[in-house]
Structure 1
Amino acid sequence: MQPSVTRENFDQWIVPTYAPASFVPVKAEGSTLWDQEGKSYIDFAGGIAVNALGHAHPDLQLALQQQATLLWHTGNGYTNEPILRLAKQLVDATFADRAFFCNSGAEANEAALKLARKVAMDNGHQDKNEIVAFKNAFHGRTLFTVSAGGQPAYSKDFAPLPQGIHHAVFNDLTSAAALINDQTCAVIVEPVQGEGGVVPAEPAFLRGLRELCDKHGALLIFDEVQTGVGRSGSLYAYMHYGVTPDVLTTAKALGGGFPMGAMLTTENLAAHLNVGSHGTTYGGNPLAGAVGGKVMELINRPEVLAGVAERHQWFVEGLNAINQRLQLFSEIRGLGLLIGCVLNQDFSGKAKQINLAAAQEGLMVLIAGASVVRFAPSLIITRQEVEEGLLRFERACRAVTEGASV
């Protein structure tokens, strides 16, 4: 018999890098979860844009169960059928010719940045090692990726940081052009800054980055860890913008809840990561490949991608109606089912308070900075779940606007 555990045990046994909610979810289905007490929660957080098909999707369960009876893990000295099939799905569906599999978005970005530096080195440009990223970006928590992310709060305590990384202003092409030069090996950008406040890139900005990279021989890396696998309403957001990167990173929704990531790139660039130059023990294991393959099969369908745009409208219309009544948000922005509600000046800094109030009402939401409430729900969330979740969200917002203690 399993010993009982509580939320308090987290504070006793777990390294305190997180401050999790006061409740402990124990089961879930679709976009509804239940905690240890049986209380239900509508999930607008999606495991931070991971659960693109909701919880306990029967087809994903079956894919995992079937593979679990066959082959779990061999290490990177061997390949396996599920990961080869997933690689074929990804290269067939995107600009890429090759895939490198890993376990997370941070690892995918780490691989992309290492690739950029190695390409320059292999081509005889030892001084071409600088990376241009953007303020308020988020690319992961490894030392390299947290340095590329433009949020000093996440990196300042780990100095000295990797050098040669410069940060321009997002959506400001003049700022980027001032930093991109012939010593730049890569520009890394999120098509929508997620952690930075759910800020979509302007199309002209991404087009301009493509031109600057071409001019200076730098790789353009799109971090699509959060925007990829249907979240934008296109399979990948670069398709929405019509700007093709040299390297794309993907994770989160790719595994539908099973940890996995990938770096996608072209034949010529992939050749620089030759045998022994990079690797990962768990990356590309058969369980991840089986689940990821089923995720891609289910999401990369016209009706599912079109449904993202439809659900975006459900949310925006509902949120605008709430805002008319409460006058809480200065802007509702985002792309597809990555939506940010920007608190107005009267409620600036209270996103976490709304997050806590939502949990009390039986709703899971995210924040993106101190003043943005973020939604990243399942791409197939039902209208009933959206409507019930927005009712709970309005009650939470009203509690905050009326000054109730949370």
Structure 2
Amino acid sequence: MSASETIAVVPRQSGAWRRAVLRGGGRLAATVALAIIVIFVLLAMSADDPAAALGSLLSGPFTSSFRTGQWLSDSANLMLSGAAVAMVFRAGQFSLGAEGQILVGALAAGAAVLHLPSFPGVFVVGLTLGALAGFLFGLVPGLMKAYGGSDEIVSTLMLNYVATYGFALLINRYLQPASAGYPVSDFFDPAAFLPSLRIGQLTIGLALPFAIGCCVAVWYLINWTKTGFEMGAVGASVPFAQATGMRVRRSVWLSMALSGLIAGLAGAVIAEGSTHRLIVGLSANIGFDGILVALLTANRPLLIPLAAVAYGYIRTGGDIAQLSSGIPREVITTLQGFLILAVTARAPLAWIRHRAGRRRPAHGGPVIPGPAPLRAAASSQRTGS
């Protein structure tokens, strides 16, 4: 293609992209409007005052500094969970194990800080051990997939049951105080609490900047390291990765283990930053909601904080609406699911197609994922240029 042809093509592509964005924005606005109407109808069927219930759902997180802090804390946990899921999804694996890995990480961190002597910075030990426990728990299905050919969906889902019931059993048997009537540990020593920053009446935990930094680290690993390039290549095309001499099995188990590390870290953050003890139901389905957060962003780590904040807002608003309006929890869960379906129905499609088109070689070869310099080098080798 000549320079004049290139100049002629680019404006048409840019114009098409702008039109696609406008169409997508219009569809998104219409879909969200329809979602709000349907939500109002559902609230009218289940709440005495639908307008007040809808107001609580939409404005609840801003009604007090405590609720705002709760929203930001929940969003930080969703960021870590979403980053864990995006890590393994970008490598072409489909893991459902974040929920169990969160519990294992919380258990390791909690058991450590409950038995260690109190000293400044003991919370770092808990975070480290939680991440290590998550890594090992994620490594198990990774090795099973890489060397045994097992289905990672089945193995990770079954390991969630192992983690859930093992978590309750160990607390009940070894960590539950005699005075407690249900599986729960003692409160941690204050030295084991995750530090927080107070701005006026608002308390922001260290978990929020920590989670954002973790998303940036995952983005860097995926896009600008050799390890991340190999994981992306395996996720895009296993035959291509094998033909170029990449270590496919290593990429499979390492991606799942690193995903487990981040999820285990999320469990430690929840235990040390939110509950301050070990309790059954500690994760509150953060692991499964992380799958939704990752899918909302098409597994792009830098967009995960935005999606986590938005979805955390819906979760917190739903909890407040339930308490203030007496709406059954099932209705709130249905509303959350419907709103997310409405938002995801059309919005990302044009953008994803645009990005896929930019990354697909013109000659029809396989998509080469990974850092731009590595993609260019691989493309040059394959075409002989």
Please classify the TM superposition score into its range, dividing by the shorter chain length.
under 0.3
Normalized per residue, the structure richer in strand is 1
TM-score by length of 1: 0.24
Structure number with greater CO (CA < 8 Å, separation at least 6) is 2
Higher radius of gyration, 1 or 2: 2
TM-score by length of 2: 0.25
